[in-house]
Structures are given as structure tokens and as C-alpha cells.
Amino acid sequence: METHSQNVVIKPLTIAIQMLAEVKHAIVLFAAMCLVFFGNSFALGQATGVLTPIQGTPALQNQATSDFQFLVCGDSRPDAGNDPLPAQLPEILTAAQKLKPAFIIFVGDTIYGWNPTSENQIAGQYRLFCNLMAKAKVPVFNCPGNHEMGDQNDRPNATMAAFYSKYMSAPYGSFTYGNSTFIALNTEEIPPPGTPPAPAFYGNISAGYVSAAQLAWLADQLEQNKKQENVFIFMHHPLHGRGRAGQLRDTCGDAIRKIISNYPNVAYVIGGHEHLYFNPQNPNNFSVPPQRTPGGPTQFVVTGGAGAPLFKMPGNFHHYLVFSVDGKSVNVKLVRVN
């Protein structure tokens, strides 16, 4: 009788101990998953907001200077997923090797992309681009475009975003060189549920979107760098494009314009996406880009001519831009590529 009573007590106690052990195991597993997730976020620069060069290119060595050059271009993707890189891209690389700029910045669509079902294909496209850029022997940065971040229907895709972080760099961030700060935005974020669809006048479903969190980050970056002599902002979908379909959604664009209006040291806002050259300040000028004078207004420019198929619109020629910083003065040269 006594033995039976002991069994009645001990058996439930044993079960309870086993259940506690399982709960403890689950808690440990969850904690480990969180550590991996957030650890990866920090490693990618997403948590700190620091933009690092794309894989295979050297780290940036900041210098105490107010006199330097950098090269900017955008939309260098091929016409199809299995096509080689456009012939214009090696020409731009050769020019960069001769110029020896402090760094190079792309404003998106460096690969054809658009295939979240094949990591091998996307990894191969990134590898092809990064291996070519490594020959420049200078840091190369990029802000992603809809081809890096979109699926086969040109919709922002979480898998493609993960591929970008894995094989390229952080989706957005900033860095400082000399007397200037450079901010790269991700205009290809996934709109949260309930976000109204892009208006029909955009003409496609890749209308750029920037989240409230990223807008807050941008405002914080500009506040932190308000004493810098120059700030440059880069994005794929432009604030002022030649065609309405190429721009950011109005809500996002208006928010960014409002933020930067508080900071007179924002020298340039540079976009791509449209496969052409466009100077919003002087739409019919296809030879002299907008020049920044000390204390002058923020200048806007679209550069999308690094090799992708050109649009049938004015300014549709292959090109890149060379920025020369001299204190608060910035000179920009437009270079056509045959």
C-alpha cells in the first residue's frame, strides 16, 4: 500500500520534470535563433547603419581631405538573366582605373535578378559583377534597385532582399569620406499590409517605397552630420525623374524632400532607375550637369546609363558622372560612353 502511494506521487513529479526540461530546451533554442538573426543583422550593417563596400572590393580608408573625386553611375544590368554584363560597364571600369577616384557608387540595378527561386543564379550574377568591380581596386558601393530586390513580377521580395545582404552589402547605410557624408537609401522596401497600391500613373508596380523606419533613420543621419560640409544622398527610384513612372511614390518622395529641406548641406540627391541622363534643374541640357555652389540649393540628377537598355526618351545615352569635391564646392562632369 505504501509503495503504491509513492508511485502515485513520483510518476506525476517525473512527468513535470520532463516537461520543464522540454520548456527549458525550447527557450534555449529560441534564444539561439534570436542571437543568430540579430547577430546577422549587425554583421550586415543593418543595425548600425554603416554602409560597407560590395563584396570583393577594398575597404574604405577615410582621409582628412576636402579635395577628392568619386565616380557615380547606375543601371548596369544586362537585358536578360543569362546575358553577359553590358559592354559599357568594362569601359566605365577602365576609365575608373585611370581616374583613380576615392570610390565608386552605383545607384542600383547592377544585376538582372528577379528570380528568388534560384539562389545559385542570383549568386552567380552578383559574383560576376563584384569580380569585375574588384579590378577597379577602389571601394565600390551600391544602393539596391528593383532588379536586385524584386521577384519575377517586379514586386519587392524578402528572399531577394536576403540574397542582396548575403552577396552584396547592407540594403542602406552611410559612410564618411573627408569633409562629406554619403547616404545610400533603399527605395525597394516591401510596403506593409494595408499600404494603398501605387497610383496608375506610375505605369508599373515597381514604384519605389521607403518605410517610416528608414525615413526616421535618414532624418537622424542628417542631424548627426549637419556640420559636415557636404552630404550626398543616393537612391534607385529618383525624387525627380524625367517620367512620372520612374519616381518614388509621392508619399515617400514628399517625406524625403521635407526631411532634406531642413539641411542646407545636402549637396546632391542622385537617382537612377530611368535608363537615361536627366537634369531636373535644366531638362534640355545634356552636356553640363547641375553644379553645386557653396550655400546653393540641393541639386538633383538622374544617372541610369551604365549599360542597361536605354529608354526611348531624351537623354538616352550611356554615361557616368565624375564628382570633384573642393571644400563646399562640387563640380560634376558628364562622360558619355560609346
Report pLDDT digits (tens) over 261-300: 999 999 999 999 999 999 999 999 999 999 998 889 999 9
> Does one domain contain both 24 and 140?
no
More confident residue, 30 or 330: 330
* C-alpha cell read off for 74: 547606375
The percentage of residues in the chain with a pLDDT greater than 90, rounded to a whole number, is 76
Specify the pLDDT at position 12.
45
Specify the pLDDT at position 203.
55
Specify the pLDDT at position 317.
98
**Cα torsion for 219, 39, 60, 99, to the nearest 10°?**
-90
Q: How many domains does the chain have?
A: 2
The gap from C-alpha 152 to its chain's centroid, in whole angstroms, comes to 19
Place of cell 560576376: 128
For residue 33, is pLDDT > 50? no
**What value does the mean pLDDT take over residues 158-164?**
98
> Does one domain contain both 106 and 7?
no
Cβ of 16: how many Cβ atoms within 10 Å?
A: 10
Specify the pLDDT at position 321.
98
CATH number at residue 226: 3.60.21.10
* C-alpha cell read off for 132: 569585375
For residue 24, is pLDDT > 90? no
* 172-195 pLDDT per residue, tens: 999 999 999 999 999 999 999 988
Specify the pLDDT at position 190.
94
Main-chain phi, psi angles of 331, to 5 degrees:
-105, 135
| Domain termination residue (choose one: 43, 58, 75) | 43
* C-alpha cell read off for 80: 536578360
Cβ of 148: how many Cβ atoms within 10 Å?
A: 29
> Does one domain contain both 24 and 56?
no
Name which of 108, 54, 94 is nearest 275 in CA terms: 108
Name which of 74, 67, 269 is nearest 180 in CA terms: 67
> Does one domain contain both 3 and 84?
no
> Does one domain contain both 11 and 80?
no
Specify the pLDDT at position 202.
55
Specify the pLDDT at position 199.
67
Q: For residue 36, what are the domain limits?
A: 1-43
> Does one domain contain both 15 and 156?
no
SS3 content of the chain, % helix, strand, coil (to 5): 35, 20, 45
> Does one domain contain both 21 and 38?
yes
> Does one domain contain both 19 and 61?
no
Rg (CA), the chain: 24
Specify the pLDDT at position 272.
96
> Does one domain contain both 34 and 104?
no
> Does one domain contain both 7 and 92?
no
> Does one domain contain both 185 and 310?
yes
Specify the pLDDT at position 243.
82
> Does one domain contain both 182 and 307?
yes
